[in-house]
């Protein structure tokens, strides 16, 4: 029988991704929008009349045009694809030679190291500072071809200082990817500034504020030179036509995004204080989720809460987020329910 030795040696140790067994739990573990499916996208899908025999547009020009109008940029500033995960893959695929170092902050999005290694690169971990900000010197001094940073950061929730990102863009001798998967919730963004820098790639997704994770749509925004490079590497037609058209409908109707962001801005501080009252130590967040240190063992909290029908994400075994859990900010009603279930777990573990 063949063993995993047959696999490519740099990726042989990869484990399958987070895939919890579900029994109808309330999902507060994926940072998606709790207000439900994007209404403009749903309206499009309900009245869908589409021919299935032809390919979609090769580079998703319709969606790229809609995004260009939204942000006051050009269609050619955009690369569109199958979730921002594909855009991460394309970014590393475009620039990584075999063995190139790529800077990955710790803690940050768990899949970065996977995408770096999958594309032949070597992840170089650079720790965030104690207050989860970028170690600018550490990143700039790393002998690396690419540096990636999510702002707001997942799992910590905070944005990085704009001046630090700018300093990295000018001092770091390589490509800089700023992953703004939660950018709609944040005050700072590099998206509209892509033409100012030779080496900046900003990533965005329709999976979070847009409430369209099921359709898998993401995009990169960068200068015309870099977008041409990335589009020539990306798998043609990777974004299917139905998802592209639904995303176009969603872009043209921003009212849902505004409402969703307002809900999170209002409810986040209330959830944080509720957690504090229960003995958690929540970290400041500019996003639609909160990372918090648990007053009891993290794995007990997550598993007991799951038994009570609420799923949150466990980061307690990872370096720099020891005994921490991450949960999505819900509506007032959802947060009250989640806090009630958490307090039951705490009561029962006394
Ligand atoms: C920081 C960050 N980047 C990228 C992604 C991937 O998003 P998508 O659903 O667009 O592939 C996620 C998803 O959780 C994320 O948290």
Same domain for 177 and 274, yes or no, is: no
Compute how many other C-beta atoms are within 10 angstroms of the C-beta atom of residue 144: 24
| Predicted pLDDT at 250 | 98
Pocket test for ligand 1, best of 63, 106, 207 (most atoms within 8 A of CB): 207
Q: What is the pLDDT of residue 350?
A: 87
> Cβ distance 296 to 346 under 8 Å?
yes
Q: Among residues of the chain, what percentage have pLDDT more than 90?
A: 98
For residue 192, being part of any structural domain is answered with yes
Q: Please, which residues have CB within 8 angstroms of residue 214's CB and are 6 or more apart in sequence?
A: 37
Phi, psi of 312 (to 5 degrees): -120, 170
Q: Is residue 82 a part of any domain in this protein?
A: yes
CATH number at residue 190: 3.40.640.10
Mean predicted confidence (pLDDT) in 330-340: 98
Q: Which domain does 221 fall in, by range?
A: 39-252
Instruction: Say yes or no: 279 and 311 in one domain.
Output: yes
pLDDT class for 35, splitting at 50, 70, 90? very high
On whether residue 164 sits in a domain, the answer given is: yes
Supply the pLDDT for residue 289: 98
Each residue's pLDDT tens digit, 173-225: 999 999 999 999 999 999 999 999 999 999 999 999 999 999 999 999 999 99
Verify that 236 and 270 share a domain, yes or no. no
Q: H/E element holding 169?
A: helix 162-171
- Please indicate, yes or no, if residue 172 is contained in any of the structural domains: yes
The CATH number given to whatever domain includes residue 266 is 3.90.1150.10
pLDDT digits (tens, 9 = 90+) for 313-331: 999 999 999 999 999 999 9
At residue 49, does pLDDT exceed 90?
no
Question: Does some domain include residue 43?
Answer: yes
Asked if residue 69 and residue 26 are part of one domain, the reply reads: no
Q: Which pLDDT score, from 0 to 100, does residue 346 have?
A: 98
> Does 5 map to a domain?
no
Residues 221 and 328 in one domain: no
**Structural domain includes residue 9:** no
Last residue of a domain, one of 232, 252, 272: 252
CA of 31 from ligand 1 middle (Å) equals 9
Same domain, 218 and 344: no
- Going from the Cα of 289 to the center of ligand 1, the distance in angstroms, rounded, reads 13
Higher pLDDT, 272 or 50: 272
| Angstrom distance (rounded) from CA 133 to CA 112 | 18
Among candidate residues 207, 235, 252, the one where a domain is terminated: 252
How many domains does the chain fold into?
2
Percentage of residues of the chain with pLDDT beyond 70: 100
User: What pLDDT score was predicted for residue 75?
Assistant: 98
Residue ranges in 206-331 assigned as alpha helix (H): 224-233, 241-252, 255-277, 298-307
Residue 10 has pLDDT above 90, yes or no: no
Residues 329 and 197 in one domain: no
Pocket test for ligand 1, best of 17, 81, 84 (most atoms within 8 A of CB): 84
**Within-domain flag for 8:** no
| CB 158, CB 182: distance < 8 Å | no
Same domain, residue pair 89 and 238:
yes
């Amino acid at each position: 029988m063949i063993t995993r030795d047959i696999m490519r040696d740099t990726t042989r140790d990869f484990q399958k991704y987070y895939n919890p067994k579900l029994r109808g739990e309330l999902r507060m573990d994926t940072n998606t929008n709790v207000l439900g499916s994007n209404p403009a996208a749903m309206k499009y899908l309900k009245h869908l009349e589409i021919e299935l025999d032809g390919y979609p547009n090769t580079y998703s020009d319709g969606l790229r045009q809609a995004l260009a109008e939204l942000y006051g940029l050009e269609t050619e500033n955009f690369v569109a694809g199958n979730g921002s995960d594909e855009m991460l893959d394309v970014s590393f695929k475009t620039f990584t030679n075999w063995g190139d170092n790529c800077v990955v902050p710790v803690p940050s999005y768990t899949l970065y190291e996977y995408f770096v290694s999958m594309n032949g690169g070597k992840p170089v971990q650079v720790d965030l500072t104690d207050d989860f900000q970028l170690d600018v010197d550490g990143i700039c001094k790393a002998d690396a071809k690419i540096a990636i940073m999510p702002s707001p950061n997942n799992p910590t929730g905070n944005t990085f200082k704009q001046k630090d990102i700018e300093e990295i863009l000018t001092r770091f001798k390589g490509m800089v990817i700023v992953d703004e998967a939660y950018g709609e919730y944040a005050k700072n963004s590099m998206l509209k500034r892509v033409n100012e820098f030779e080496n900046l790639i900003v990533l965005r997704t329709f999976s979070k504020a847009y409430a369209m994770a099921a359709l898998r749509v993401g995009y990169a925004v960068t200068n015309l030179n870099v977008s041409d490079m990335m589009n020539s590497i990306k798998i043609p037609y990777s974004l299917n036509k139905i998802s592209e058209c639904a995303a176009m409908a969603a872009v043209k109707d921003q009212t849902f995004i505004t409402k969703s962001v307002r809900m999170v801005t209002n409810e986040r501080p209330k959830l944080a204080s509720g957690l504090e009252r229960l003995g958690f130590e929540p970290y400041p967040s500019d996003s639609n989720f909160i990372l918090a240190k648990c007053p009891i063992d993290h794995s007990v909290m997550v598993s007991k809460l799951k038994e009570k029908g609420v799923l949150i994400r466990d980061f307690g075994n990872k370096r720099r987020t020891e005994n921490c859990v991450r949960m999505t900010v819900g509506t007032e009603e959802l947060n009250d329910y989640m806090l009630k279930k958490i307090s039951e777990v705490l009561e029962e573990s006394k």
